Structure 1
Amino acid sequence: MTACDLDPDALESVADYVDHTTSEVSEAVTDADVVVVAVKPDIVGAVLSDLDLSPDQTLLSIAAGVPTDYVEARTDANVVRIMPNLAAETGDMAAAVTGDDIPGEVRQLLDDVGEFAEIDEGQMDTATAVNGSGPAFVFYLIQAMAEAGVEGGLEESDAETLAAQTFKGAAETVLRSDRSTEELIDAVCSPNGTTIEGMEVLWDSDADADVTAAVRAAEERSAELAAEFGDENDA
């Protein structure tokens, strides 16, 4: 595995995780079966212009908001678009993937760092909001639960640990259980117990609508970014 970047500090930060580092694009991609383009959306075009790839190679684009057709118009390689999230660092990533041909090497790579869902290109803006932006929304909720714990007298570090681990455990339960989230909620809520009292507050609030609004706002921004690249394609 070869990492390529013009920033020496960036290369140094990943040196322990790759076989080779370089600042020369041609050196990085010449013999590569899979080339990952992980750059900011506004420089994708410039990066692609420096890549001379063949149809036998696969280009993985993880630039948010950049449509597949924009990339395909600028390379001969097989294009796979991925929206990952930062939980790849811990092997718990949720990724959305789209492409006409997703090779085995790519599937294995994604399996190694978490879970992935194959979706249509037209669903990418929604997926970007759910799994790409989603970690920030979850961090916000963890923070809110932890702050409630601190207000109740818990030490800040204890409250954060309890809140974060509760989210982690609940997420694992959802992934491993055959029951729906509604059924899981019911399983925790005992009649006249503590959980049902808290859930009544949430059910009577606009919490679900606010979460939906946050997802829609992120989705709309992703669509705006995609439209900008579409206009560039038409120019």
Structure 2
Amino acid sequence: MVEVSVIGCGHLGSAVIRGLAKSDNHTITACDLDEDALDAVEPHVDRTTKEVREAASAPVVILAVRPQTVSPVLNQLQMSPEQTLLSFAAAVPTDFIEERTGGTVVRGMPNLAVETGSTAAAVTAEGDEDVRNILDDLGKYVVVDESLMDIATALNGSGPAFVFYLIKIMAAAGVESGLAEDDAARLAAQTFKGAAEIVLQSEESLDHLIDAVTSEGGTTIEGMEVLRESEVDDVMERTIRAAEERSIEITNDFERD
């Protein structure tokens, strides 16, 4: 069992807690100032506390707070080099955190799918065995250079919202043509899930996979022609860039501090 503390029990922190609890491989302490947030995660943890100093004793401490909350938390977070601080605070540079805590810092950017053990995460280092086990239990991860964390934040961190939006659009088209709302949503969501699994398991390129579904004279090719003639490529590019640029702005604010 890996002892881990999660500081911050908002949307991301609570999702991390539920994901770790499902793996049954961890002893979990939840830390937050909000009593309601602690009550919500209490069934999934071994201990709750409002004191950062109490949470700081675990071998691995996960920081899952908003960027504006990082400094006040770090001011109370005393750790040793033998401990790891796994920071999931969006756009907060490793250097900023390292200067304010004695722990070994691993910066990461997961997404809300940590709750189901299917997150896509980017991290700046694999860390020790305990950290790797935690990351494995939460989903899939890649190790990237710190300079690429802003685009990772936009792509996989913000990405679920963009995918939810696309699922909503596809489901709405189904409803417009007569499908029940729940049925359309289920079909659209499962289609995304299935397509994603094919991408992850296949060694073929995305273009090849598209061609495999797009047979001459069939239905898919008609839809693909609409997509290819539209501005969807440009829209998605601008969507990702807007999120990346905001991440860069937040990062720059911390680097000036």
TM-score, normalised to structure 1, is: 0.95
Displacement of 1:115 in angstroms is 0.5
In the other structure, the counterpart of 2:122 is: 96
Aligned pairs for 1:180-191 within 5 A: 180-191=205-216
1:38 aligns with 2:38: no
Q: Secondary structure at the match of 2:140?
A: strand
Aligned pairs for 1:73-92 within 5 A: 73-92=99-118
- Counterpart of 1:18 (choices 17, 42, 45) is 45
In the other structure, the counterpart of 2:18 is: none
1:27 aligns with 2:54: yes
Query: Matches of 2:162 and 2:31 in 1, distance apart?
Result: 31
1:61 aligns with 2:87: yes
Q: Secondary structure at the match of 1:190?
A: coil
1:148 aligns with 2:173: yes
Letter of the 1:13 partner, please give it. Answer: A
Letter of the 1:92 partner, please give it. Answer: S
1:48 aligns with 2:74: yes
- Counterpart of 2:199 (choices 174, 188, 191) is 174
1:158 aligns with 2:183: yes
Query: After TM superposition, where is structure 1 displaced by more than 4 Å over at least 4 residues in a row?
Result: none
Displacement of 1:58 in angstroms is 0.6
In the other structure, the counterpart of 1:201 is: 226
Q: Secondary structure at the match of 2:251?
A: helix
- Counterpart of 1:9 (choices 9, 30, 36) is 36
Query: Matches of 1:183 and 1:162 in 2, distance apart?
Result: 23
TM-score, normalised to structure 2, is: 0.87
- Counterpart of 1:106 (choices 121, 131, 135) is 131
Query: Matches of 1:19 and 1:155 in 2, distance apart?
Result: 42
Displacement of 1:107 in angstroms is 1.0
Letter of the 2:253 partner, please give it. Answer: E
Query: Matches of 2:54 and 2:152 in 1, distance apart?
Result: 33
Displacement of 1:15 in angstroms is 1.3
Provide Cα deviations, 1:150-173, integer angstroms capped at 9, x if missing partner.
111111111111111100100011
Percent identity of the aligned residues?
A: 60
Displacement of 1:128 in angstroms is 0.3
Letter of the 1:207 partner, please give it. Answer: V
Query: Matches of 2:240 and 2:160 in 1, distance apart?
Result: 11
In the other structure, the counterpart of 2:17 is: none
Q: Secondary structure at the match of 1:170?
A: helix
- Counterpart of 2:98 (choices 72, 80, 88) is 72
1:228 aligns with 2:253: yes
Q: Secondary structure at the match of 2:165?
A: helix
Letter of the 1:51 partner, please give it. Answer: L
Query: Matches of 1:4 and 1:139 in 2, distance apart?
Result: 29
Provide Cα deviations, 1:46-98, integer angstroms capped at 9, x if missing partner.
10010111111111111111111110111111000110100111111111101
Query: Matches of 1:150 and 1:157 in 2, distance apart?
Result: 9
1:123 aligns with 2:128: no
1:139 aligns with 2:187: no
Query: Matches of 1:220 and 1:64 in 2, distance apart?
Result: 13
